[in-house]
């Protein structure tokens, strides 16, 4: 079926109607807020008439879905999220006779190797210095706690608790349900001393309203592209580094927190406990950074030996 044969609008007999029914279902409403935000965004794009929405549901098949996913291959994270969301639609719809057949059989997607790449110290400093204050505050909080955006937007002054003579922030991670106490670093304590102490979350919009995780993500992306001082954090500056987005994202600060602790020779188990992360995920975030450190050390040793040989040769030749 050619694209120009598709009906111009999403009707009750199209795949878009199946997606809409899933979005309105108890199944979808039962997901966490973060999952609803992520999958909902991808499903609303897929149900658009210009993508898969206008395809008759009797004709939707793996080849058409694969073609749609191939169009997202430049953005592995977005492609992965779209695949996961459409797979859930398939599972829900097939057993309810809303789809005549499975539509995800044999699908292939680009598997991102590095995920959201960790920021560097220099990149964090650029954001803290040049981003709008309400977003710079989000960067500082994320860099020093290593928490997901869905948890950052809910942290409040009332979550601060002293333990062993040190203040920390009590967090119930929205994605995992894990309850952790995140110690407040010296850098974060210094920043927090300048923040207004008022009811509600640390992070608020310029008009005082609290953020949602998705709204914070969009605001950061807009700021990163609008603010010329943040150009080093954008897509062109980090091209080829396998990000899930057009540039550095807030979630990448989760990896930054792990890498910074690892470089301070903190035990991996202690890092995992501090940020509430699995050992495997800590290792994943640190792997690329440590490889770069080892490669840098190797080239420095090579240059040291080369310079030593040249100096020795110069002294011998001068005699």
Q: Where are the alpha helices (DSSP H) in 47-201?
A: 62-70, 76-94, 121-130, 133-145, 149-152, 186-192
> What strand order describes the sheet that includes 166-172?
160-163, 166-172, 179-183
- What are the tens digits of pLDDT across the range 118-132? 888 999 999 999 999
> Residue 12 CA to chain centroid, in angstroms?
35
pLDDT band at 62 (very low <50, low <70, confident <90, very high): very high
Query: Cα separation of 81 and 96, whole Å?
Result: 23
Model pTM score? 0.61
Considering only CA atoms, which of 254, 274, 278, 280 is closest in space to residue 119?
A: 254
Mean pLDDT of 58-79: 87
| Strand partners of residue 180 | 171
pLDDT at 134 over 90: yes
The CATH number given to 3-94 is 1.10.150
DSSP H helical segments within 203-278, as ranges? 213-226, 252-263, 268-275
Decide: helix, strand or coil at residue 180: strand
Under the banding of pLDDT at 50, 70 and 90, the label for residue 79 is: confident
Mean model confidence pLDDT for the chain: 85
Fold of 121-282: hpI Integrase; Chain A (1.10.443)
Residue whose pair of structure tokens reads 């929405």 in the numeric block: 53
> pLDDT tens across 210-268, in order?
998 878 887 898 888 889 999 999 865 554 444 444 578 898 899 899 988 988 888 88
Identical fold between 3-94 and 121-282: no
Domain boundaries, the chain: 3-94, 121-282
- Min mean pLDDT across 5-14, 160-169, 250-259 is at 5-14
Q: How many residues does the chain have?
A: 319
């Amino acid at each position: 079926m050619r694209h120009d044969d598709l009906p111009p609008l999403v009707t009750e007999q199209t795949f878009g109607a199946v997606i809409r029914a899933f979005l309105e279902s108890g199944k979808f409403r039962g997901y966490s807020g973060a999952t609803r935000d992520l999958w909902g965004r991808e499903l609303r794009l897929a149900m658009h008439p210009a993508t898969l929405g206008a395809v008759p549901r009797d004709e939707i098949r793996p080849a058409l879905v694969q073609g749609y996913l191939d169009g997202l291959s430049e953005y592995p994270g977005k492609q992965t999220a779209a695949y996961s969301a459409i797979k859930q639609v398939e599972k829900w719809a097939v057993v309810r006779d809303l789809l005549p057949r499975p539509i995800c059989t044999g699908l292939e997607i680009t598997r991102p190797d590095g995920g959201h790449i960790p920021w560097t110290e220099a990149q964090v400093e650029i954001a803290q210095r040049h981003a709008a204050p309400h977003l710079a505050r989000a960067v500082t909080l994320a860099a020093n706690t290593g928490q997901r955006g869905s948890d950052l937007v809910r942290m409040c002054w009332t979550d601060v608790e002293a333990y062993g003579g040190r203040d920390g922030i009590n967090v119930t991670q929205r994605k995992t349900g894990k309850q952790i106490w995140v110690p407040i670093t010296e850098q974060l304590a210094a920043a927090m001393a300048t923040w207004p102490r008022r009811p509600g979350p640390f992070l608020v919009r310029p008009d005082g309203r609290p953020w949602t995780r998705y709204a914070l993500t969009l605001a950061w992306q807009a700021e990163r592209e609008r603010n010329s001082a943040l150009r080093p954090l954008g897509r062109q500056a980090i091209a080829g580094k396998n990000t899930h987005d057009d540039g550095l994202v807030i979630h990448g600060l989760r990896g930054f927190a792990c890498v910074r602790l690892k470089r301070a020779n903190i035990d991996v188990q202690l890092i995992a406990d501090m940020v509430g992360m699995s050992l495997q995920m800590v290792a994943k975030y640190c792997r690329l950074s440590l490889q770069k450190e080892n490669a840098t050390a190797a080239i420095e040793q090579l240059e040291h030996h080369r310079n030593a040989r040249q100096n020795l040769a110069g002294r011998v030749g001068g005699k």
